[in-house]
Structure 1
Amino acid sequence: MAESAPPGLEGIVESQYAQIGSHRYHYLYSKPPKGEFKGTFLLFHGFPDISYGWRYQIVLLHSLGYEVVAPDMLGYGRSSVPIDLEEYAAKTQADDMAVLAERIAHGRQVFVGGHDFGVLVAYRIAMYYPNLVRGLFVAAIPFQPPEVNFEFADRIGDESYTSIGYMRQFGDPEFHQNFIGPDKVWQLLSACYNGTTPEGEPGGSPEEGLVLDRLPRIGLSSIVKQEELAYIVREYGESVQGPFNWYRLWKINFDADLSAARKGNIRFTMPTLFIGGKSDPYLPPFLIDAMRGYFDDLEIHQVDGTHWVLWDARMEVNNLLEKFLSRFTT
């Protein structure tokens, strides 16, 4: 029996799988309408999300004539969930995605998109495989160059650095055990997707992380439909250990990128579009401004939206993306 398409993507996507080394990736694949082909797009989701997080952009890109590949990143959905944290390194996954791009695009350049932690992979494909990337679209997290000193880990461990307190909570190796089973996963996702209690209280904050005893009272967020959330919960299965593993990679990513950091002079020459939400509490403005020093051709837009800008500002995001893509010709 064929797998049913996710809600809202019926007739547009199908599930496919790729074995790349020891990693098995599930991805949503969308073929452009017959007779149309403007290029191939790889889209990388973040936390806590899956390939389906790109649903609104997949519909747009399909309508414009693009082939779309949206993987479940390692640890998520139907993709592999490695035990060894080293395998989750952003560079390792960028290497895997470069292989996938070559298999699907057959030597053609591709467009690359990333949201949240997905930008870590997107930026690294552009860093390490610049000739592969025709254009780059990133949302929510600005580029931060690899460092030669492990300073970010010091900030993670610094109690005075309050705005990333949630990272300390999420990085606890046992924290995922609070969310075993579909009901608990539903609560986790509802809180992370901007859901609130009947009194309007959020499920947590960047400073303190999630307030666990509040989560059972979090209602369905306005930015996700019930059938959409139900689909995502089913795809997550019984455990969220894989997704939370991404918060334990700071030293691993540092080591993987150390050679590039020491070499320095990181430049992105491909056209790049960055979109952030004006109401995103995880998006410091100074990081957006700092991006300009690394890109030769960078568009920056901040729209009325939250961290989930691909959803709650989807019309404006899609309009900006379509305008950005109009610069390219086949």
Structure 2
Amino acid sequence: MDPANPASFNHRTELLSTGHRYHFVDQLPANYDPATTKTLVCIHGFPDFWYGWRYQIKPWVDLGYRVVVPDKLGYGGTDKPEDASEYSAKKIANDIAALMDLLQLPKAVIIGHDWGCFMASRFALWHPDRLLSLVLMSVPFVPPAKAYTPLEKIVDRVPNWGYHLFFADKASSGVIEKNLAKFNKLIWRDRRNSDVRLSNWTLTGGLPKLLNDDQFDLAGTGLLNQQEFDYYVSQFDSSMHGPLNYYRTTLHRFNEEQDPAILQAPRPDLPVLLIIGKDDPTSNQGALDVTRKMIPHVQIELIDGVGHWLMVESKDHINEAIPRFIRSVSAGEVQTKL
């Protein structure tokens, strides 16, 4: 399990009962016992894939956990349906449940980052009895909406989400694929980069303008070393449509969440940890207040000097903080077959 060698991890590809074929990494600890070993299921965000957890897998396996890390639908070696409706939160939650069924895991610790964080939180609403605990990273909890708000109006309220409108447009797939290296440099850039052209890239029109600007490029590979950067680019070559489809599900997600069967918040006895980088612009105080209101028992950890990419920027802290949380909430539980 060498982060510098993706092939050193245990890769599997299996057909799930939902009809989707998933690629995932499945690492067992040395003394694996299905009756007592806890499993951590790690869900990545955008634009990422299983490799986003490369620095966490071995440390957590060495602590005695089984670690399962899928490529979400549309990514890597997992199926890539064309229709955006296949990427709704309920369907992804059902895929996660089906993956757990395949692995004979009645329950697991569910950990999500970015879009994976949203999907992990929705898994807790659609399949509440399948979680031992829930860890949310970089994205505060948002409850199901009571009324539909078009993406355009959301962006009017939150201008920094203007790039969502670009991603929601199917034309964005081709634009990004033509400028994949530049796009990844922008996503993984050091947030301290002072280039003034980066000040409004998130606003409506800002990102496509930068990508189509032949005079614009960023030096270096940001938070990634050259080998990691090249691997990321290779994994997304000509395959951005699936990842971007998640941004095209606003109405699909609203419609499915009108189902009275969905919970409005994680169940009250479910241990929940939210980890946020203080320098992450996607997490403001208002969003944290909503999380505290909807999940009163949530533990919130804010990390100084860290932005959005927690698993890379603060890998040592994450490697220690999440197992510490799991141990703390498990201290008094009676060991039963998991």
TM-score calculated relative to the size of structure 1: 0.88
| Structure-2 separation of matches of 1:199 and 1:144 | 32
Matched residue, 2:238:
238
Alpha-carbon contact 1:61-1:68 (below 8 Å) kept: yes
Matched residue, 1:123:
121
| Structure-2 separation of matches of 1:143 and 1:193 | 24
Matched residue, 2:25:
28
- Secondary structure class of the residue paired with 1:53: helix
**C-alpha displacement of 1:261:** 8.5
Matched residue, 1:133:
131
| Structure-2 separation of matches of 1:104 and 1:69 | 10
- Secondary structure class of the residue paired with 2:78: coil
Q: 1:173 aligns with which of 154, 166, 170?
A: 170
**C-alpha displacement of 1:76:** 1.0
Residues 216 and 104 (structure 1 numbering): CA distance in 2 closer, same or farther, change over 3 Å? Answer: farther
- The answer to whether structure 1 residue 112 and structure 2 residue 110 are counterparts is yes
Residues 100 and 153 (structure 1 numbering): CA distance in 2 closer, same or farther, change over 3 Å? Answer: same
Instruction: Summarize deviations over 1:232-257 as a string: whole Å, max 9, x none.
Output: 22222323111111111111111111
- The answer to whether structure 1 residue 185 and structure 2 residue 180 are counterparts is yes
Matched residue, 2:325:
324
- The answer to whether structure 1 residue 310 and structure 2 residue 311 are counterparts is yes
Matched residue, 2:201:
205
- The answer to whether structure 1 residue 99 and structure 2 residue 98 are counterparts is yes
Matched residue, 1:276:
276
Please tell me the residue identity of whatever aligns with 2:189: N
Alpha-carbon contact 1:33-1:65 (below 8 Å) kept: yes
Which sections of structure 1, spanning at least 5 residues, go unmatched? none
Alpha-carbon contact 1:196-1:219 (below 8 Å) kept: no
| Structure-2 separation of matches of 1:71 and 1:48 | 14
Residues 153 and 179 (structure 1 numbering): CA distance in 2 closer, same or farther, change over 3 Å? Answer: closer
Alpha-carbon contact 1:78-1:235 (below 8 Å) kept: no
- Secondary structure class of the residue paired with 1:112: strand
- Secondary structure class of the residue paired with 1:242: helix
Matched residue, 1:73:
72
Alpha-carbon contact 1:27-1:69 (below 8 Å) kept: yes
RMSD: 2.6
Q: 2:189 aligns with which of 170, 188, 194?
A: 194
Alpha-carbon contact 1:269-1:295 (below 8 Å) kept: no
Matched residue, 2:44:
45
Alpha-carbon contact 1:126-1:268 (below 8 Å) kept: no
Matched residue, 2:81:
82
Alpha-carbon contact 1:206-1:282 (below 8 Å) kept: no
Alpha-carbon contact 2:143-2:265 (below 8 Å) kept: no
Which sections of structure 2, spanning at least 5 residues, go unmatched? none
| Structure-1 separation of matches of 2:132 and 2:263 | 24
Residues 268 and 70 (structure 1 numbering): CA distance in 2 closer, same or farther, change over 3 Å? Answer: farther
Residues 133 and 148 (structure 1 numbering): CA distance in 2 closer, same or farther, change over 3 Å? Answer: same
**C-alpha displacement of 1:57:** 1.8
Alpha-carbon contact 1:47-1:116 (below 8 Å) kept: yes
Instruction: Summarize deviations over 1:264-307 as a string: whole Å, max 9, x none.
Output: 57644311111011111111221112111222531101103111
Q: 1:142 aligns with which of 118, 140, 143?
A: 140
| Structure-2 separation of matches of 1:122 and 1:263 | 13
Query: 63-72 or 226-235: which moved more?
Result: 226-235
Instruction: Summarize deviations over 1:124-151 as a string: whole Å, max 9, x none.
Output: 2111211110011110111101112002
Q: 2:13 aligns with which of 1, 14, 17?
A: 17
Q: 2:161 aligns with which of 151, 164, 171?
A: 164
Please tell me the residue identity of whatever aligns with 2:311: L
- Secondary structure class of the residue paired with 1:28: strand
**C-alpha displacement of 1:263:** 7.1
Percent identity reads 28
Instruction: Summarize deviations over 1:12-44 as a string: whole Å, max 9, x none.
Output: x21111212331111112111235763111111
Alpha-carbon contact 1:135-1:271 (below 8 Å) kept: yes
Please tell me the residue identity of whatever aligns with 2:171: E
Instruction: Summarize deviations over 1:116-174 as a string: whole Å, max 9, x none.
Output: 0011220121112111100111101111011120025352353x641211111221110
**C-alpha displacement of 1:319:** 2.4
Larger RCO (alpha carbons 8 Å, 6+ apart): 2
| Structure-2 separation of matches of 1:326 and 1:84 | 41
Alpha-carbon contact 1:142-1:288 (below 8 Å) kept: yes
Instruction: Summarize deviations over 1:94-128 as a string: whole Å, max 9, x none.
Output: 01111111221443x20001000011220121112
